Structure 1
Amino acid sequence: MTMISDLPISLVEEILSRVPLKNMGAVRLTCKEWDALSKSRSFSKMHIGKLSAADESMIVVLMDYNLYLMRVVQAVNEDPFIERIGKLNKQNKISKVFHCGGLLLCDLREDKTRVIVCNPYWGQTRSIELSRYSYFTWRFDTFRHALGYEDKGSYRSYKLLIRFTDQYYYTPTNECSLYRIYDFDSSLWKTLDITTLWSIRYHHHGVSVKGNTYWPASLINSPTEDYIISFDFTSESFGPLLRLPFDPMYSENVTLSCVREEKLAVLFRNAEVGEFEIWISTKIEAKEVLWSKFLSVEMETGSFSLTRNNSFFIDEEKKVAMGNCKTFKIVGEAGYLKKMELVERAGRDGNLYMENACSYVPSLVQIKQPASGRKR
């Protein structure tokens, strides 16, 4: 009788590459040969390719300080459904999450002196001790982190940016900010010499596209967010203000997202015409971004809930937008609306219930660990 160990390696790779992501841990524990095979670059590239081509969107959802990896399946002629792939945090409670290039940057709820960077695909983590400036905040929780990278050809050099500011929520005037950056290769911090004539509001997390981070921005003393601003992790500097494809009013929220970390998406609520619009970038460069309208949906379909937690998701092929607030919603053209449950709330006090979410694309990136004897 032919055993699976008798099969050619290429055929074993093809068989195992069809295993769902949530079951890869069991595959690696089966035997040493499968563990080594599953961690090889050829197999991992094939496996991630199949995951990316699947008829689903993967998202990371933060609920009650726990981090869950989920997939949204939208099969043809069937109702969409959400599958929980697994819980990502084992011990630490998570308060915020940021996705960049397959890596997750996690703020810890009970330890403000460090952050955790992880690759869920490999199960790798790195703990980074924060600069002392980041946890001696001037006002309540007024620092934000962003993860990005410099493309060095043969590998990506990851960096961590800390932005903290003497600015309280919706007061973009007279902003005073400090920026510090951490290099994964050298394990060193440095302060950046940055003077701005614009403001990023406190509640914006930022999104990563091609290794750089983007935020909605406004001019100092301006009540409207008419622009986006990007931080280039190669030059370690901000680019110019780039105009949004619409003119938002003061009361209208602007929210950024990304499409597979290759394109920007922006949502704004247009109360004047009773709808929200989503635009997707068709070209994005350091000094120019071009936009195309992706979707317009009447607000009465429940669209306000898409932006309540400051995040939404796009399925460009199916032309739908997704977001979560109490229930997960998928909205599309001609009044299309589907509602689904995510996971039940674990906390009893609704006021303490927190949620955040980001899209997730698996990655082969290996997290560089600090040199022996060097501070993390």
Structure 2
Amino acid sequence: MANKEKLPWDLIEEILTRVPPKSLVRFKIVSKQWNALFIDKRFINKHKKMFRFILRTRSKIYSVSINPKIEVRELTLDIPGLDTHQIPKKLIDCNEFLLCRMDKGAVIWNPWLRQTTWIKSEVNQPNLVFNALGYDNNNGYKTLASYRKELDPATLTCWKTHDLSSDAWRDQKGVLIYDGSRERITFHISSGVSLNGTYYRAASYDKTKYLFFLVNFDFSWYNFNKFCDLPYRGNHDRDALVLNIFRGDRFSLLKQSHLTKKIEILVTKNKIDKWSGGDVEWINFMQVSLPNLPDLVQIVSYDQPSYFIDGKNLVVCSYDETGRVWIYVLGDNKLISGTKIDLVVDPWPLHCTYSPSLLSVPRGKRVEAESQV
């Protein structure tokens, strides 16, 4: 009789961490146990090809892994029907996907699975700026884009949404609503985040430009609203201020003072509910006071740093004064390591965090029709 002994589960799990991500998607149907494993962030974080940062130079795209050794690999952005040499103008971390701003459109990308979906700009608005990807209460994916009717930066920003399921565009007529106030606001230079289908971004009133709060956009109700105040006061133009997702269902907020170089990380105490902004409580997670640490925001580019929290450590991607990319690991009020990414030779590349997932990119109506031809 054949030996029907099963392998220990921990050995099966270790073997699966070495399987290419695209194959793992097919293996999800093997059993409920395997399917549960593949959506477990702990498993994904152990995967041998997992990465946490994306870098874009003038001609190439790279992934950066920290496990704990830093590994840099070149990526390809495969977009059917488009020039393979096209490079995104902007990379926006939308939690499980990346939203890539392109010429006359955008790409939704899962770089871990090497999947893309192309969204073409509306014919009469070829210069739309794509800002976010989210979904409504029926899990229908939509993007949020902006434009100005005139080239003058003083003109008001106009907004549109695109529904992937219908390939339909919709004008957003309303303005930002804050407890009945309709004061004009300015978005912070950082990109914002998407959590549970809702888009969040730091902003301030024009009259009080350094008092920041969070705004969210609801893709079910098609409106902006003030969500909650941010705890920092006395901000400076060159301070770092970056919102991120913490443990899958909360926010983290990185602040580095340009004057003191002190870094603070705050996290929300409870899970984020898009309706409960008034109940958000921020708590201290980490402080790092290192006067010799470089500015995370350089005066040449003013780009904000990218970061994620790894256990009790903070991992940051930013530039030095020459535009070279560095990865800093900080913890216990000290610099654990600082590594320059020598493989990326172009200065001032775009960069963002990315949390790998096995979720397939949403496919729009036009893409599905083309795939059937």
Q: Give the TM-score, by structure 1 length.
A: 0.76
Residue 362 of structure 1 is matched in structure 2 by 357
Asked whether the 8 Å contact 2:52–2:355 carries over to 1, the reply is yes
Q: Find the aligned partners of 1:101 and 1:276 in 2 and give their Cα distance.
A: 23
Asked whether the 8 Å contact 2:318–2:326 carries over to 1, the reply is yes
Percent identity (aligned) = 15
Letter in 1 for 2:156: C
The SS at the match of 1:204 is: coil
Shift of 1:160: 0.4
Shift of 1:305: 2.4
The SS at the match of 1:135 is: coil
Shift of 1:282: 1.6
Q: 1:158 aligns with which of 123, 127, 141?
A: 141
Q: Does residue 116 of structure 2 align to residue 131 of structure 1?
A: no
Asked whether the 8 Å contact 2:313–2:329 carries over to 1, the reply is no
Asked whether the 8 Å contact 1:306–1:312 carries over to 2, the reply is no
Shift of 1:264: 1.6
Q: Find the aligned partners of 2:25 and 2:130 in 1 and give their Cα distance.
A: 37
Shift of 1:311: 3.3
Letter in 1 for 2:119: I
Asked whether the 8 Å contact 2:258–2:295 carries over to 1, the reply is no
Q: Does residue 295 of structure 2 align to residue 304 of structure 1?
A: yes
Shift of 1:16: 8.2
Shift of 1:215: 1.3
1:151–1:100 Cα change, 3 Å: farther
Q: Does residue 77 of structure 2 align to residue 89 of structure 1?
A: yes
Asked whether the 8 Å contact 1:167–1:202 carries over to 2, the reply is no
Residue 259 of structure 1 is matched in structure 2 by 246
Asked whether the 8 Å contact 1:126–1:369 carries over to 2, the reply is yes
Q: Find the aligned partners of 1:101 and 1:368 in 2 and give their Cα distance.
A: 17
1:358–1:39 Cα change, 3 Å: farther
Asked whether the 8 Å contact 1:206–1:215 carries over to 2, the reply is yes
User: Greater helix share, 1 or 2?
Assistant: 1
Q: Find the aligned partners of 2:145 and 2:62 in 1 and give their Cα distance.
A: 25
Q: Find the aligned partners of 2:209 and 2:150 in 1 and give their Cα distance.
A: 14
Q: Deviations over 1:5-55 (max 9, x none)?
A: x998998x936862436x345xx5xxxxx9954676854542343533539
The SS at the match of 2:140 is: strand
Residue 191 of structure 1 is matched in structure 2 by 171
Q: 1:179 aligns with which of 159, 178, 181?
A: 159
Report matched runs for 1:1-376 at 5 Å.
Answer: 14=12, 18-20=16-18, 23-24=20-21, 28=23, 36-37=26-27, 42=32, 43=34, 45-49=36-40, 51-52=43-44, 54=46, 58-65=51-58, 66-73=60-67, 80-84=68-72, 87-90=75-78, 91=84, 92-108=86-102, 112-132=103-123, 134-136=125-127, 143-152=129-138, 156-165=139-148, 176-196=156-176, 197-201=183-187, 203-253=189-239, 254-271=241-258, 274-283=261-270, 284-285=272-273, 286=275, 287-288=277-278, 289-305=280-296, 309-315=303-309, 317-325=311-319, 326-342=325-341, 344-347=343-346, 350=347, 353-370=348-365
When structure 1 is superposed on structure 2, of 320-329 and 186-195 the one drifting more is: 320-329
Q: Deviations over 1:130-179 (max 9, x none)?
A: 12465347xxxxx3421112243xxx32110002347999x8xx661111
Shift of 1:252: 4.8
Q: Find the aligned partners of 2:119 and 2:144 in 1 and give their Cα distance.
A: 12
Letter in 1 for 2:303: N
The SS at the match of 1:224 is: coil
Q: Which runs of structure 1 show a deviation greater than 6 angstroms over 4 or more consecutive aligned residues? A: 6-11, 38-41, 166-169
Q: Deviations over 1:246-285 (max 9, x none)?
A: 2133435322222254222222233565523221112333
The SS at the match of 1:14 is: helix
Structure 1 unpaired stretches of 5+: 29-33, 74-79, 138-142
The SS at the match of 2:109 is: strand
Letter in 1 for 2:147: F
Shift of 1:188: 0.7
Asked whether the 8 Å contact 1:59–1:69 carries over to 2, the reply is yes
Letter in 1 for 2:174: I
Q: Find the aligned partners of 1:312 and 1:146 in 2 and give their Cα distance.
A: 17
Q: Give the TM-score, by structure 2 length.
A: 0.76
Q: Find the aligned partners of 1:98 and 1:339 in 2 and give their Cα distance.
A: 25
1:272–1:366 Cα change, 3 Å: closer
Structure 2 unpaired stretches of 5+: 79-83, 177-182, 320-324
Shift of 1:180: 0.2
Asked whether the 8 Å contact 1:328–1:342 carries over to 2, the reply is yes
1:334–1:36 Cα change, 3 Å: closer
Shift of 1:195: 1.4
When structure 1 is superposed on structure 2, of 255-264 and 181-190 the one drifting more is: 255-264
Q: Deviations over 1:212-258 (max 9, x none)?
A: 22111111233314212111222221122521112133435322222
Letter in 1 for 2:212: D
Q: Find the aligned partners of 1:257 and 1:218 in 2 and give their Cα distance.
A: 18
Asked whether the 8 Å contact 1:168–1:202 carries over to 2, the reply is no
The number of equivalent residue pairs is: 341
Asked whether the 8 Å contact 1:99–1:147 carries over to 2, the reply is no
1:334–1:202 Cα change, 3 Å: closer
